[in-house]
Each structure stands twice: as C-alpha cells, then as structure tokens.
Structure 1
Amino acid sequence: MKPLSNWHARLPKFIAEESTGKELPELTDVPTWIIDPIDGTTNFVHKFPLTCVVIGLAVKKEVVLGIVYNPILEELFTARKGRGAFLNGKPIHVSKVQDLSKALVCMEAGFIKIDNLREKTVERLQDIIKAAQGIRTLGVAAITLCYIALGIVEAYYIEGPGISTWDIAAASLIISEAGGVVVDRITGEPIDIMKPRAVAACNDKIARDIVKIIREADQRVDMRTK
C-alpha cells in the first residue's frame, strides 16, 4: 500500500468568522465548510430575535449545501444544490413581485456611521426609498437573505465592513434554490462568494433595477467629490 503522503490535502477546509484572519483564505476545489456561529451579533446582544447560525459547504468552489438556523424563532432554512429550498422542511419560493415600486427592500443603514461610506450610503438609501414600496433594516445578513427565499422580502443590498463570505455563502444557495438571484452589485453578474458585495432579489429584473440605482447614486457622489 502506498503511503498517503498528501492525505492532508484531501481533508475538508474551513472558512469561519471566528478562526479566519483579516485575509480570507483562497477557495479551492477541496470541500470547504463556510461557517458563522453567530450572524447578527448586535441583535443577539440586545436580545432582538433575529440572529442565526450559518453553515455552508462549497465543493469545487461551488456552494452545494446551505443551512441558516434562528434558534430563537426556531426557523431552519435549508437547501441542497438542485434539491430546492425549505423552511422547517417545507418548500419555499421567492416573491412573484416584478415591479420595484411594489417591492420591500432591505438595506443596512448603519453604514452611514462609517466616514468613507456615509455619502454613498445616504445617496443609495434616498434613491431606493423613492423607488421601492418600503425599506427595512434587520441587522442580520443571512436571515434577511433567507427572507427573500421565503417570499416576504423582494430585495436586499449588502456590502461593507463586517460583511464577508460566511454572511452570504449558505443563504445565496437558499435564494437560488427558491428561484431568486444573487448578483455582484458592480458587475451585475452572478455573485462570487469571496467578494461579498451582493444584490439579492426575487428575480433578475428587480436585481438589475437595484444595481442601476446604486451605480447611478455612486456616480453622483463621485462627481460631487472630485
């Protein structure tokens, strides 16, 4: 029998908030667990009931399993690649809303407190408020994304400090398996989970509308600050 000289290369890898430094490790073809033990930490501290455990599994750089569990409300969102999305074992599907003017959109307005993001966050927020039916801030990325899959939120824009791969990996699969989309807010292309600057939506049209609003808002801010 040949010695397993490269046995360590076959072991699963882990990307987790509590064990990863400032620089994310490269995602490889090796099976990789992507974990956040507590998403929505501020909510957890304040006993606000939207907080969760997030577990994703990527194989050959593709997320194939997603689990998001809120133990307070006992909401267990799950998805396997090609098998659909579920809440507590029951199939879920995204909203059928096609018009942004009838959509409920989530953003994290707290980024206004960050100096280098303040102007663009305010500009984006103003424009989305004008275009959408309503705006909500829930303070927890993974659950908000899952609420798109559940069909009670139409879109979510997420980017900024504190947002990383573990916030979107599992939930992005849950959304896609429920019939929705998650795209890069700059390119509009399908999301790269290692670059978590995401626009998630119940369909391509609303996702494109949000991407366009953000792009135009940023351009106006850049023109004013030149």
Structure 2
Amino acid sequence: MPPSDFDGNASYEFGLAMAKKAGAMIKDAFRRPKTVDTKTCDIDFVTDTDRAVEKMLLSEISARFPTHKFIGEEASADGTKNSLTAEPTWIIDPIDGTMNFIHRYPLVCVSIGLWVDKEPFAGFVFNPILDLFYSARKNEGAFLNGKRLHVSDTTSLSQSLVMFELGTARDPAKRESVIENFNRLLDRGHGFRSMGTCALNMCAVAEGGADAYFEYGVHSWDVAAGSLIVREAGGYVCDPSGGDLDVMSRRMLCAASPVLAHEICSLLFQIYPERDD
C-alpha cells in the first residue's frame, strides 16, 4: 500500500510539470554545441544537458517531496547500485536517446516514472523536438498530447512490426545475442524498426504504431515510465522469458497482446545482464 501521506494527485501534477520543464531544457539545447563525455565504452555518452536535466529534476523533487526516493541514470553512472523500495521513487532518464541528441536526430525524450510500493503509479515520456507528450496514471489510461492511446489488435508475429535495438555495448556476447534474436525473428514478422530510445519504442507500441518491442541491457530508468504507458494503453509488459517484468532486471518485452508477447518470448535467445540493484 502507498504510504499514508502519499498524495497521488499532487505527485501526478508535479510529474507533468517536471517533464515539461525538462523537455524545454532539452529543446533549448538540441541544436547548440554540446559537451560530451563517455561512460562505459566509447559509444556510451553523456552530455552536459543530461547532467543539467537530472540535476534540475533531483533538486525539484527533493524540494517538493523530501521523503521521496530517486533513481537517475547519471547518478548511477559511477556504478552505484540502486534499490527499489516501497517508498515513492522517481526513476528518471534525463535524455533517453543521447546518441540521437548528440547527432541532432529528433528521436529524443525525457522519461520520468513514479513507482510506489514497487509498482508503477505514473509515467511521463516527452519528446520536445517533435512535441510528443505521453503520459499515464495507474488505472486511468494512457495519453498522447491529451488523447487516449490504445495498442494495436495484433496477436500474431507474422502481422507485427517489431522494435529492437542494437544497443551501445561493445561486448561481443551482447552483439551476438542481438544478431541471433534478429535472425530468429527476421522471416517471421512484417518488419523491424529501431529508434535509438527505449522509452519511445515502448510508446510506439502503446499508440499502436508498432506491435512489440524487446531488449536486453536496458535499465530501470529506460522502462519505468514506458511500462505503465503500455499497460494503460491495453498492452502487455513482461520479462522476455514470459515471466513478470522486474524493472531492475535489465530485461523487457512489451507487446500489443499477451498472445503476441508469448509467441516472441518462445523464440528468443535469452541473456541475463548484470542487474541494476
């Protein structure tokens, strides 16, 4: 159960406002020169805007809700492990699609998920470059720019457009698993797409523009908001093995229906990245 002092309405409205504020910062910086550093490898980047957006969000959250917890991508960049507790926890990717952001490719977003009692309560994904604002609140539906979303009615891989990502890892085992799974699915689906951002891939499933998406190696901040948006749009989110989603496991699959999800799960080669917690 949520803590007795948890104010769901105030938290939701605050999340909406923070996503818009973060989006304004991203839009303002999008075409400006950027300071870029590497993290885990030479194609895993962080920019000055990633850091500035996360710093702003942490400051605002701490001031408004001092008892709430926070899990952020850049705060975790030093390898610090995070634990998801029952306390209200804001799980944030300040810029999902940093590679796109660096190259001025317009598929970028801020992703903000609020989890309470280890379950998603609210999710916000905002692409300010294309003005796409996705939002969801538990048991109240999912929306794009205020209009209700619904997943497609697809139940078969043979009729599906599937999202997948190559990822940023230089690890040969990860690369081989991506190629193996692509080969396993290639002749079974309508087609495959890759946007370079987990949160927007999930939102594509939520709005029926794609039918499924899976990835190994994602983090809690990549999926915390999108998982609720997909579910509230009538979709299905799970572990790629077919079990329940564990947001800290770095494994995720979402689809328009349970039938489609489990068909894809049955075909996948499984890998188990190091957990976030």
Q: Give the TM-score taking structure 1 as reference length.
A: 0.86
Opposite residue 19 of structure 1, the aligned amino acid is A
Shift of 1:212: 0.9
Q: C-alpha distance in 2, partners of 1:158/1:23?
A: 22
Contact 1:112 1:122 in 2 (8 A): no
Quote the residue 1:18 is aligned against: 74
Q: C-alpha distance in 1, partners of 2:169/2:181?
A: 11
Contact 2:70 2:90 in 1 (8 A): yes
Kindly tell me: are residues 11 and 202 of structure 1, through their superposed partners in 2, closer, same or farther at Cα, counting changes over 3 Å? same
Contact 1:155 1:201 in 2 (8 A): yes
Matches within 5 A, 1:73-222: 73-110=130-167, 113-160=170-217, 163-186=218-241, 188-215=242-269
Kindly tell me: are residues 192 and 46 of structure 1, through their superposed partners in 2, closer, same or farther at Cα, counting changes over 3 Å? same
SS at match of 1:98: coil
Identical residues among aligned pairs (%): 43
Which ranges in structure 2 are unaligned for 5 or more consecutive residues? 1-65, 272-277
Q: C-alpha distance in 2, partners of 1:124/1:56?
A: 28
Quote the residue 1:6 is aligned against: none
Post-superposition CA distance 1:121-149 (Å, at most 9, x none): 21110111111110111110000100100
Opposite residue 173 of structure 2, the aligned amino acid is N
Shift of 1:110: 4.5
Q: C-alpha distance in 2, partners of 1:24/1:54?
A: 20
SS at match of 2:74: coil
Q: C-alpha distance in 1, partners of 2:168/2:91?
A: 24
Post-superposition CA distance 1:146-180 (Å, at most 9, x none): 010000100001112xx210000110000000000
Contact 1:67 1:170 in 2 (8 A): yes
Q: C-alpha distance in 1, partners of 2:175/2:111?
A: 29
How large is the RMSD of aligned CA atoms in angstroms?
1.6
Quote the residue 1:55 is aligned against: 112
SS at match of 1:123: helix
SS at match of 2:180: helix
Post-superposition CA distance 1:9-35 (Å, at most 9, x none): x71010001112424311111111111
Post-superposition CA distance 1:56-88 (Å, at most 9, x none): 101111110000000000000000000000000
SS at match of 1:19: helix
Which ranges in structure 1 are unaligned for 5 or more consecutive residues? 1-9, 219-226
Shift of 1:196: 2.5
Contact 2:123 2:136 in 1 (8 A): yes
